[in-house]
Amino acid sequence: MQFELNMATRPFQRRRLASMLIGVATLTLTVVTALIVATYILHRELPIGLAKHQSQLRAELADLSADEAKLRKILQDSENDVVFERSMFLNRLLQRKGISWTRTFFDLESILPSRVQVIQIRPEVTASNDIALSMQVGAEAPSDFIEFLKALEGSNLFESPNLRGSVPPSDNQPLFRYQLTVRYDQQL
């Protein structure tokens, strides 16, 4: 028996390494595909649960919106409007009563120059719940009032003095009179 082996026409090729690499790659792709399919099967109920939760939240939001509409309607009733205004008035009054006059005058006295007098003072509670003092002060000279403004600006308790007007001396009133508003941070 004779075998024909012609090395010149059919050279020997090393295919074992390539075949092994292709087999490993195929096995790896098969495992990864199986993991992806398993993950999908395990988590396919998650979007269904999220959709249910979303619908529950939307129903709850609709209920809350309906409740809000009812409450707004109640608040807009004319009888309740009177009660609301009265409660706001009483709250502002209580806040004003909470301001210590003794402390206010003590704080003003600590920065007030000797030739400046407080003629009138009125505390106000602003919309942002800050205390503002609306004052009328008298000074012998404009330079004394400027000294008072500098003392207000340099103080930790008084902020943003705002000059609203001034009146020169007259026969009845020998002082320069100034109207100003200043924010007051009363330390209780």
Residue-level pLDDT at 73: 85
CA angle 97, 181, 167 (to 5 degrees): 125
The identity of residue 180, as a single letter, is: L
Residue-level pLDDT at 148: 93
CB atoms within 10 A of CB 152: 22
Q: Annotate the chain with DSSP letters as a single string.
A: ------TTTS-----HHHHHHHHHHHHHHHHHHHHHHHHHHHHTTHHHHHHHHHHHHHHHHHHHHHHHHHHHHHHTSHHHHHHHHHHHHHHHHHHHHTS-HHHHHHHHHHH--TTEEEEEEEEEE-TTS-EEEEEEEEESSHHHHHHHHHHHHH-SSEEEEEEEEEE---SS--SEEEEEEEEE----
Cα–Cα distance measured from residue 34 to residue 32, given in angstroms and rounded to the nearest whole number: 5
Q: Of all residues in the chain, what percent carry a pLDDT higher than 90?
A: 39
The encoded tokens of residue 113 equal 């120059």
Residue-level pLDDT at 4: 66
Q: For the chain, list residues with pLDDT below 70.
A: 1, 3-13, 93-97, 187-188
Residue-level pLDDT at 44: 77
User: Cα 135 from chain centroid?
Assistant: 32
Tell me if 169 sits within 8 A of 175, measured CB to CB: yes
- Which residue, chain included where needed, has tokens 């009138």? 120
For 91-135, what is each residue's pLDDT tens digit? 776 666 677 788 888 889 999 998 999 999 988 877 777 788 999
Residue-level pLDDT at 56: 93
Tell the burial category of 126 from Cβ atoms under 10 Å away from its Cβ (0-12, 13-18, 19+).
exposed
Residue-level pLDDT at 101: 81
CB atoms within 10 A of CB 141: 13
